[in-house]
Amino acid sequence: MRLPSRTRVGVVGAGPAGLLLAALLRRAGVDCVVLESRERSYVERRQRAGVLEQSTVDALRGCGAAERLDREGLAHDGIELRWNRRAQRIDFPSLTGGRRVWVYAQTEVVKDLIAHDLTAGVPLAFGTPALAVTGADTDRPVVTYRHEGREQSLACDYVVGCDGFHGVVRTAVPASARTTYERRYPYSWLGVLADVPPSCDELIYAHSPRGFALHSLRSPTVSRLYLQVANGTDPADWSDERIWDELDARFAVEGDWRLRRGPLTQKSVLPMRGSVTEPMRHGSVFLAGDAAHIVPPTGAKGLNLAAGDVIELGRAFALRYADGTDRALAAYSDTRLRRIWRAQHFSYSLTTMLHTDPGDPDPGFGVRLQLARLDRIAASRAARAELAENYVGPATR
């Protein structure tokens, strides 16, 4: 593939954020080039979150990349909280004016967007690592990259970093020009994929004296489950039987509900942390997705925040090239940071309400505070509405 030497928007990273931005830009008639260090096969296999907010789904539909999602995605109208052998369903539509979420694996979102972007003619280069970004302070930033064994340059009007926390675009912003706020949690998640139909119609979030557990799903035949474990846990130390027994204990509830067991096909440990880098713009360089923020996965916000970033950027670039106005681009960082910090607070609140803190000097006191919050949600429609509003995300603008 021969890549152009110049483009309006250079996008580094072909995860869901970079691919969605490319789709939005192409729809608006704005030229872009997408550079991705990994090969296509690797990108399409990366396992990540699978819960999509309404605004994310609407954006995928709007750019023409949601045909398979609409056919195969699972619309969810709620979640279930469990604690003390009790269960409380949070009904999204009745509490949020009709909004819901969709369960559709990130791997499938990425496959759909890659197919869409290639069909639309977006220059999309896999196995093409960006090496450096220069000129961030100028109106002509340049991305240096390696493609087909040769070092080449891409001159841009703007560069958008969708290449993660350790990507070259974030590091192109001088350390003196950015501040990163970070919170590391004293526990991790052991995540497993199981070839067994889900034991629930909607996600289950369980508080237990033994630690947190989550029952999710990838499809009608594949379950995705998580257990709170200690930081530094080796998945090899957890046998299949031990995992199923622990899930059984943490999901325990009154009634005849039973956890279906099946062969585990994947095990991995996910550390829990939150971070936000401010500002999300430096000169002609913009940060989006994990390059700017990371949230713990408890509230299913990571992919959706990244989508929100590029939806805002897509709109701002469209205005910039339609009528020359920079107002939306100038407001990008402030606009997104307000939403990002709200999502950080929600993820922090949900995480600390449901997980056992191994460092709590008075765990009995801490647990009773958690139970009081859960009891409040069960007793108060207003409390359930607040949780639901945060979970489903903002309405599409």
Does residue 390 carry a pLDDT above 80?
yes
Q: Do domains 6-74+105-182+273-350 and 185-271+358-392 have the same CATH topology?
A: no
Strands 285-287 and 150-161: parallel
Does residue 47 carry a pLDDT above 90?
no
Average pLDDT score over the chain: 95
Whether 297 is a known active-site residue: answer: yes
Q: Show me where the domains of the chain are located.
A: 6-74+105-182+273-350, 185-271+358-392
| % of the chain beyond a pLDDT of 70 | 99
Does residue 318 carry a pLDDT above 90?
yes
Which member of 116, 215, 301, 355 is catalytic?
301
At residue 345, the 3 state secondary structure works out as helix
Whether residue 389 contacts residue 299, with contact meaning beta carbons closer than 8 Å, is answered with no
Which member of 205, 215, 296, 332 is catalytic?
205
Whether 348 is a known active-site residue: answer: no
Of 3.30.9.10, 1.10.260.40, 2.40.37.10, 2.40.50.140, the CATH number of 185-271+358-392 is 3.30.9.10
Which member of 16, 198, 296, 297 is catalytic?
297
Position 396 confidence tier, pLDDT thresholds 50, 70, 90: low
Whether 205 is a known active-site residue: answer: yes
* Predicted pLDDT of residue 49: 66
pLDDT tens figures, 335-389:
999 999 999 999 999 999 999 999 998 999 999 999 999 999 999 999 999 999 9
CATH of domain 6-74+105-182+273-350: 3.50.50.60
pLDDT tens figures, 277-299:
999 999 999 999 999 999 999 99
Its pTM stands at 0.94
Taking phi first (over 0 means left), then psi (-120 to 50 degrees means alpha), and beta for anything else, what does residue 178 get?
A: beta
Which member of 76, 116, 207, 293 is catalytic?
76
Whether 391 is a known active-site residue: answer: yes
Rounded to an integer, the average pLDDT of 236-257 is 97
* Predicted pLDDT of residue 46: 78
Residues 35, 377: Cα–Cα separation, whole Å: 45
Position 57 confidence tier, pLDDT thresholds 50, 70, 90: very high
Rg of the chain over CA atoms, in angstroms?
22
Calculate helix-pair angle for 54-62, 106-119, nearest 10 degrees. 20
* Predicted pLDDT of residue 225: 96
